[in-house]
Amino acid sequence: MAKPEDTSAPQRGRDGTMRGYFGIGVERVSKPMNVGNLFRTAHAFGASFVFTVNAHYDVAEAKSDTSLAPKHMPYYRFDDVESMTLPQDCSIVGIEIVDGARELPSFRHPSCAAYVLGPERGGLSGPLLARCDHVVRIPTGFSLNVATAGAIVVYDRVITLGRFAHRPIATSTEPEPLPAHVSGGPVQRKRNADGARTKQRHTR
């Protein structure tokens, strides 16, 4: 049987944007202003959707979301963890200060991910942590505001998966421009005698 294609390393688009998608949400949050700040930031960074889980949130009460994010991207309201339904192959990434959590600077962001944060006073619930494929912590001395933590996470995703010029070693040096994108030859997929799919790239 042929091995499945490795999709662990997200690919970058030709126009500087990253392939894949991400969404971000909160569990049991009670302050609409915090949620509004988070959703506005997610909107600015190109999130594909936002969501809440067992949370008090009303778009009309979230005056901090001046971009009205839920009116420009899908917003999903889940009553509890059990009803939380996400796209197939979408990894759930919990942001939490718990033992065993991976530090954000060392974390490889999944190509397709849904990030979730806990309430202002407390952390992610046990059932939601159990649903997480990854748990990540921001290396700070104490917990941050929900919107601030979310902004740090999505910014980290963008700078690590987006296509940007590398930072120069010296502060006085200009970054080198990115080389032009070069497309490979067409790919033909065939099945061998065992029925397994093979891939062959033709060079130009």
User: Tens digits of per-residue pLDDT, 131-165?
Assistant: 999 999 999 988 899 999 999 999 999 999 988 88
**DSSP helix, strand, coil percent of the chain (3-state; round to 5):** 20, 20, 60
| Mean pLDDT to the nearest integer, 80-102 | 95
Distance CA 110, CA 90 (A): 8
Q: Kindly tell me if the per-residue pLDDT of 4 is higher than 80.
A: no
- Please give the pLDDT value at position 1: 35
- Please give the pLDDT value at position 199: 62
17-21, 73-77, 82-86: segment of lowest average pLDDT:
17-21
Higher pLDDT, 13 or 195: 195
- Please give the pLDDT value at position 46: 94
- Please give the pLDDT value at position 171: 87
Residue 131, SS3 per DSSP: helix
- Please give the pLDDT value at position 203: 55
Cα angle 165, 170, 172; round to 5: 90
Greatest CA separation for the chain: 62
| Mean pLDDT to the nearest integer, 81-102 | 95
Q: Which domains does the chain have, with CATH numbers?
A: 21-161 (3.40.1280.10)
Q: Kindly tell me if the per-residue pLDDT of 202 is higher than 90.
A: no
- Position 100 confidence tier, pLDDT thresholds 50, 70, 90: very high
- Please give the pLDDT value at position 14: 40
User: In the structure encoding, which two tokens stand for residue 199, read together?
Assistant: 């891939």
The string of pLDDT tens digits covering residues 173-193 is: 888 887 777 777 777 777 777
